[in-house]
A and B are shown apart, each in its own frame.
Chain A
Amino acid sequence: MQMKKIDNTERADVLIVGAGHAGCEAALAAARLGCQVVIFTVSVDSIAMMPCNPNIGGTSKGHLVREVDALGGEMGRNIDKSFIQSKMLNESKGPAVHSLRAQADKREYSQKMRETLEHTEGLKIRQAEIAKILVEDGKVIGAESVSGKKYLAPAVVLCTGTYLNARCVYGEISEETGPNGLKRASHLSDSLREIGLKLLRFKTGTPARIDGRTVDLSKMEEQKGDEHITPFSFENREDEIKKQQISCYLTYTNENTHKIIRDNIDRSPLYSGAIRGTGPRYCPSIEDKVMKFPDKDRHQLFIEPEGLYTHELYISGMSSSLPEDVQEAMIHTVPGLEHAVIVRNAYAIMYDCLDPMQLKASLECKTIQGLFSAGQSNGSSGYEEAAAQGLIAGINAARYVQGKEAFVLKRSEAYIGVLIDDLVTKENTEPYRMMTSRAEYRLLLRQDNADLRLTEMGHEIGLIDDERWQKLKEKKAAIEKEIARTEHTVIAPTEAVQSLLALYGSTALKSGIQLAELIRRPELGYEKLKEIDPERPDLPEDVREQVEISLKYEGYIARQAAQVEHFMKLERKKIPADIDYNDVGSLRIEAHQKLEKFRPETLGQASRIAGVSPADIAVLQVYLEKHAVKNVSRET
């Protein structure tokens, strides 16, 4: 008897491999742009799971979330639905480094995202492990699950996070699992190698979780949320999302903690050599910190709730791969944690990821058309970095399917641009974390103006509806109008004015002066001058904030804009994709090798590759001019 084989091949436009923070954004973006999307996950219950820290945002990461939102992504809206504490960080510093961070209720965050996916048209969720990427003639044609089922689609986005050949380690224990004990993806790495991709082996880690009922919070400093909160999403107003907030707590390690770590350091797989893979320098394990900062007698630990649904607390700052008994002992040395009961151990996780230099700035593979990659599978770390890439990969997968030009953000336009440019241009030897210092034009790329920078682009792409776009235009107009008014309003040296100036230690007026001039004085500002400005219209807070920043930092903003102009000169010069570096001549060997390896898309990108000197760029420039390159890249 012959078995009948039923053809159960499925067709779609875009396949998303993984449903973490990158996968969710990619799937939503592609579906919202009109594609038929299938998103795969090893467990539907782990959609948008937060396997590490229970918060979204933070220094520079908050910028990414605001940008994702401004372009029409989901992360900002989702955290606004599920936050349990909100805080604007660095408020004492300049506006460039103000950063929003919200504590999340982990279960709520994951559930809300799943609801959004389920309510999005054209988006199917499928629990399956993808084992193979199908490629034909240099183009992706689909993917195949472990069960052998084929899904055909012209575009595939890899969002495999830390699942590829994952191994979790603490002390002598080593398990072949993904994060949080979930099933790992054991087949896909081989398939990626087979289609010619180079993989890296990275490492990251997470601290222990403890039972909140066994913790003495009175020995710690309480960290409350802000009274006046800023929503992550530009669509939301404070009063729409405001709620009762929980607190976090600050405590410190001490010499006893450090002694236990030092005494047991040889039992750390990291130091004994059991862990292969490079860990993040900027999110180090506690044993790393103790060994690298021997002079420091204490390290900060933040105790953060995992959610309202549980007593579990997260010990931020104590990620580790030490054995269970050492973990317990060191936790018990910390004030307030003397009797803490561990719910989950800290562990380190090693995983395969793509060497991101194989990607274009669109996040499409240079060698395989239609194959995109986003998130930790590109060697980044963090939910926000993942979401940002997911959004861009999702947009570009859809645009690829629809025959449109790729959407690429520049370093001068967004932290997302910096993130992706760094990933695809710099040699990555450890998980890449977004940081303020990586954004050279950060005064222009503030979290408060992400909508002004990006929402127009989001609208053009098709992720921002007309109503939101209209609102933004109105906001822009209101800002410009108010700035113009302050330039034209003359403040007379009345008694009221002089006494207000004296109050702030500002020089008294000799004659009338433009309001804008007064606002620009370092010791004054827009809000401070309200009472001597009777004509001031009643404006929403976000407009007032922009007026204040635009005027107060005018000179700096102008100088930074000049830097961007300089930067753009090289950025506009495209390098033809088929350039033969053997033809160029006079390139130093190292530069030749690096250029060959990265194959940068613009002269600007080439200039950022380590090992390519300004002299090499001069050579390349001469070559490009001689070969009359007429391509001019998008000018924005």
Chain B
Amino acid sequence: MNFDTIAAISTGLIPGGIGIVRVSGDKAVAVCEPLVRLKKLSLSQAKANHLYYGQIADQNGVIDEALIAVLRAPHSYTAEDTVELQCHGGPFVLQKVLDAVLKAGARLAEPGEFTKRAFLNGRLDLSEAEAVMDLISAGSELARETALKQLQGKNSALIRRLRAGILEKTAFLEAALDDPEHYELTDYEKEAEPFIQDLIREIEGLLKTADDGKVLVEGIRTAIIGRPNVGKSSFMNCLLGYERAIVTQIPGTTRDTIEESFRFQDLVLRLLDTAGIRESADVVEKIGIDRALEAVKEADLVLLIADGSETLSEEDEALLALCEGKTRLMLLNKSDLGLKEDPAALEARYGCPCYGISAKNGSGLEAVLEKIRTLFRLSEIRQQPLLVTNLRHKELLREALTSLEYAEKTLQSHAPEDLLTIDLMDAYRALGRILGEEVEEDLVNEIFSKFCMGK
């Protein structure tokens, strides 16, 4: 078919040992052929899936030496003919090689276009393609595992099974409408109701994993609050300074603030408004409270810091009340000075897990991290066979669920059976949209535009 041939630098523009220019499309080999000098043969004679040493040159001479691989359709990432030019990894070299390829007749790939080709060529379904993106941006071991499972089609297989079940039920209903002599609907409710309820349960189960999925992919949004001078800022520094953690700064999601992400093994904490915490130590207290309130609202987890060297004050209790209903931990700081309150007693009194810590020497921190892992069931999540991590999937699952609940209501109110098909088909389509198996306006382009260049 008339595929146009696309090319891009697939390894990013940071200096590195190796950089890859990927060329995909019907004319991938033809485009690269004049640029590639192999020892004994021309590129079109190269065997698929073999690595050849050669030079890349344009009319001005050799640009780089490279390892060159030819992958033949459909056995490539895009399921098209693909040439990979593995060059030296400097941005300037790579750009020059890419320019030469573009001049030779390829078009610069749009972000995500290689993956889009894989989808359009039927090698990946939509949710699998999305998993590729998740895999690239996976920030933790668990997120990586989950994305990989999705890429391997485990979620898709489940959704396909649910869809097949719905389709079968609908087909029977339709057949009964057209051929009542051969397809009886008597007692249909008795059979359809448990079926629909099972579907509802399965989708509800999947939806429950969506919250876990969010924790996984985005991290646990964590607010650190406490009255002035209890050591919020030093606690945060202690956390961020934790030797085995990886810390990155990211812009805040809701306001013009800074968040810092703390990763330790499979635990990812997104510390909300870290600048606010640092500032509130020396600015007017009012601002500190407002910002704390806002952080609590957004947070999945609240860490309430109190001064453990004093007894709990009314203010501390007020803050505790503020985060009532949230997953929260009370941390009694300054344990190095001796604790005035017994964490176990406080925990019993306020129904909030309570730990003594020292931001100064870091004692107690591991226990806190372990508690957070337990609260967010990280080991359990890890055991789960399937996780929904994508917001689009979650919304569509919810749509399917609503439709199935309508169908259940139809059955329970003994409404005419033919009405069932309306909601069953809605559920069927919503699930199909997860996989990209329903025709939809502009969805595909929107999804792939979120990808990075070269993928």
State the A residues within 8 Å of B (CB): 59-60, 93-97, 282, 293, 296, 299-300, 435-437, 440, 442-443, 522, 553, 555-556, 559-560, 563, 569-570, 582-589, 592, 607, 613-619, 621-622
A59 partner residues in chain B, CB cutoff 8 A: 177-178
The answer to whether A93 touches B422, judged by C-beta atoms less than 8 angstroms apart, is no
* Contacting residues of chain B (433-455) with chain A, CB-CB under 8 angstroms: 436-445
A559 touches B422 (CB 8 A): yes
Pick the residue among A300, A584, A589, A621 that contacts B441 (CB under 8 A).
A621
Contact with A along B407-449 (1 / 0, CB 8 A): 0000001111111001101100000000011111111110000
A621 surroundings in chain B (CB, below 8 A)? 441-442, 444-445
Contact A586 B178 (CB under 8 A): no
What number of A-B contacts does a CB cutoff of 8 Å give? 103
Those 9 A-B pairs whose CB atoms lie nearest each other, nearest first: A94-B416, A437-B174, A522-B413, A618-B444, A607-B439, A614-B439, A435-B178, A436-B177, A94-B418
From A555, which residue of chain B is reached at the shortest CB distance? B406
Q: Which residues of A contact B90 (CB under 8 A)?
A: none
B120 within 8 A of A: yes
> What CA separation (Å) do A621 and B419 show in the bound complex?
33
Q: Is the CB of B2 within 8 A of A588?
A: no
Contact B174 A615 (CB under 8 A): no
**Alpha-carbon gap, A563 to B444, bound state (A):** 20
B391 within 8 A of A: no
- Cα separation A607 to B119 with both chains bound (whole Å): 17
User: Is B182 in contact with chain A by the CB < 8 A criterion?
Assistant: yes
Q: Which residue from B3, B417, B426, B445 sits with its C-beta under 8 Å from A622?
A: B445
- The answer to whether A559 and B177 touch across the interface, beta carbons within 8 angstroms, is no
A87 to B120, CA, bound (A): 51
Instruction: Point out the residue from A522, A556, A613, A614 that lies within 8 Å of B440, measured CB to CB.
Output: A614
Expressed in whole angstroms, the Cα–Cα distance for A622 and B2 within the complex equals 15
Contact A615 B436 (CB under 8 A): yes
Given contacts A559-B422, A614-B439, contact A93 B416 (CB under 8 A): yes
- Closest CB of chain A to B5's CB: distance in Å? 10
Would A617 and B117 be within 8 Å (CB), given that A94-B418, A522-B413 are in contact?
Answer: no
By a CB distance below 8 angstroms, the chain A residues around B417 are: 93-94
Cα-based distance from A584 to B2 in the complex (angstroms): 8
Docked complex Cα distance between A93 and B417 (Å): 7
Q: Does B351 sit within 8 A of A, measured CB to CB?
A: no
CA distance A556 to B418 in the complex (A): 11
Verify B436–A614 contact, CB threshold 8 A: yes
Name the residue on B nearest A60 (C-beta). Answer: B178
Name 6 interchain pairs, CB-CB below 8 A, sorted by A. A555-B406, A585-B1, A586-B1, A586-B3, A614-B438, A615-B444
Instruction: Give the one of A93, A583, A584, A589 with max B CB within 10 A.
Output: A93
Residue from B179, B417, B438, B440 having most chain A Cβ neighbours under 10 A: B440
Partner of A94, one of B3, B413, B419: B419
* Minimum CB–CB distance for A62 against chain B, Å: 13
Q: Closest CB-CB distance, A625 to chain B, in whole Å?
A: 8
Closest to A442 in B: B418
Q: B293 → chain A, closest Cβ, in Å?
A: 39
Q: Would you call A559 and B406 a contact (CB within 8 A)?
A: yes
- B122 in contact (CB, < 8 A): yes
Given the contacts A437-B174, A437-B178, A556 and B122 also touching, CB distance less than 8 Å: no
Majority DSSP secondary structure for residues of A touching B: helix
Given contacts A59-B177, A97-B416, A614-B437, 6 further A-B contacts (CB under 8 A): A282-B179, A436-B177, A443-B422, A582-B2, A585-B1, A615-B119
CB < 8 Å neighbour of A437 from B2, B119, B175, B423: B175
Is B181 part of the binding interface, using a Cβ–Cβ cutoff of 8 Å? yes
A613–B122 CB distance below 8 A: yes
Bound CA span A569–B438, Å = 13
Known pairs A585-B2, A615-B436; A560 contacts B422 (CB<8 A): yes
Q: Mark B162-189, 1 if CB is under 8 A from A, else 0.
A: 0000000000001101110110000000
Which A residues are in CB contact (< 8 Å) with B419?
94, 96, 443, 553, 556
Q: Which residues of A contact B426 (CB under 8 A)?
A: 559, 563
B 99-122 to A, binary, CB cutoff 8 A, 1 in contact else 0: 000000000000000000101111
Closest chain A CB from B384 CB (angstroms): 29
Chain B residues with CB under 8 A of A443: 419, 422
Residues of B within 8 A of A (CB): 1-4, 117, 119-122, 174-175, 177-179, 181-182, 406, 413-419, 422-423, 425-426, 436-445
Cβ contacts under 8 Å, B413 to chain A = 522
Q: Which residues of A are found within 8 Å of B437, using beta-carbon distances?
A: 614
A-chain residues with CB within 8 Å of residue B177 when the two chains form the complex: 59, 93, 97, 435-437
- Nearest-CB residue, chain B, relative to A589: B1
Given A559-B406, A614-B437, are A592 and B181 also a contact pair (CB < 8 Å)? no
Tell me the complex Cα distance, A115–B261, Å: 86
Please report the C-alpha to C-alpha distance between residue A613 and residue B123 in the assembled complex, in whole angstroms.
Answer: 13
CB < 8 Å neighbour of A569 from B117, B174, B441, B444 = B441
Chain B residue with the shortest CB-CB distance to A522: B413
Report how far A588 CA is from B117 CA in the complex, Å.
11
CB of A483 to closest CB in B, whole Å: 20
Chain B residue contacts of A435, Cβ below 8 A = 177-178
- CB neighbours (8 Å) of B422 from chain A are 443, 556, 559-560, 563
Decide: A588 and B414 in contact? CB cutoff 8 A.
no
Tell me the smallest distance from the CB of B123 to a CB of chain A, in Å.
Answer: 10
CB-defined contacts of A614 to chain B, threshold 8 Å = 436-440
**Residues of B contacting A586 with CB < 8 Å?**
1-4, 117, 120-121
Distance in Å from the Cβ of B372 to the closest Cβ of chain A? 42
Partner of A592, one of B1, B117, B120, B443: B1
B2 touches A282 (CB 8 A): no
Q: Check B439 against A587 for contact (C-beta < 8 Å).
A: no
Q: Shortest Cβ distance from A388 into chain B, in angstroms?
A: 18
B440 to chain A, nearest CB (A): 7
Most B CB within 10 A of own CB, among A59, A553, A618 = A618
Q: How far does the alpha carbon of A618 sit from the alpha carbon of B418 in the complex, in Å?
A: 32
Q: B444: nearest residue on chain A (CB-CB)?
A: A618
Nearest A residue to B441 by beta-carbon distance?
Answer: A569
- Closest residue to A559 on the B side, CB-wise? B422
Cα–Cα distance between A128 and B301 once the two chains are bound (Å)? 88
User: Judging by beta carbons under 8 Å apart, are B415 and A522 in contact?
Assistant: yes
Question: Given A93-B417, A553-B419, A563-B422, do A618 and B1 touch, yes or no (CB 8 Å)?
Answer: no
Are A293 and B441 closer than 8 Å at their CB atoms? no
From B414, which residue of chain A is reached at the shortest CB distance? A522
Q: Once the chains bind, are B440 and A587 in contact (CB under 8 Å)?
A: no
The CA-CA distance from A560 to B429 in the complex, in Å, is 13
Q: Contact: B122 with A615, CB < 8 Å? A: yes
Report the separation of the CA atoms of residues A72 and B376 in the bound assembly, to the nearest whole angstrom: 67
CA distance A204 to B2 in the complex (A): 43
Bound Cα distance A589, B3 (Å): 11
Interfacial chain A residues near B174, Cβ < 8 Å: 436-437
B412: nearest chain-A partner, CB-CB: A522
Closest residue of chain B to A581 (Cβ to Cβ) is: B2
Give complex CA distance A440, B120 in Å.
27
What is the CB-to-nearest-CB distance from A200 to chain B, in angstroms, rounded to a whole number? 23
Among A94, A553, A569, the most chain B Cβ lie within 10 Å of the Cβ of: A94
- CA distance in complex: A378, B315 (Å): 83
Q: A354 CA to B4 CA in the complex, in Å?
A: 38
- How far apart are A587's CB and chain B's nearest CB, in angstroms? 6
Cβ–Cβ < 8 Å partners of A616 in chain B: 120
Nearest CB in chain A: distance from B13 CB, A = 27
B1 adjacent to A436 (CB under 8 Å): no
Contacts of B406 in A (CB 8 A): 555, 559
Closest chain A residue to B413 by CB distance?
A: A522
Q: For A585, list chain B residues within 8 Å (CB).
A: 1-4
> Which one of B178, B181, B182 contacts A436 once the chains associate, using CB atoms below 8 Å?
B178
User: CA–CA, A586 to B110, complex, Å?
Assistant: 15
Closest to A437 in B: B174
The reply to whether A617 and B178 form a contact with Cβ atoms under 8 Å apart is no
C-alpha gap A583/B438 in the complex (Å): 24
Q: B400 to chain A: closest CB distance in Å?
A: 13
Determine whether the beta carbon of B425 is less than 8 Å from that of A618: no
**What chain A residues lie within 8 Å of B418 (beta carbons)?**
93-94, 96-97, 436, 442
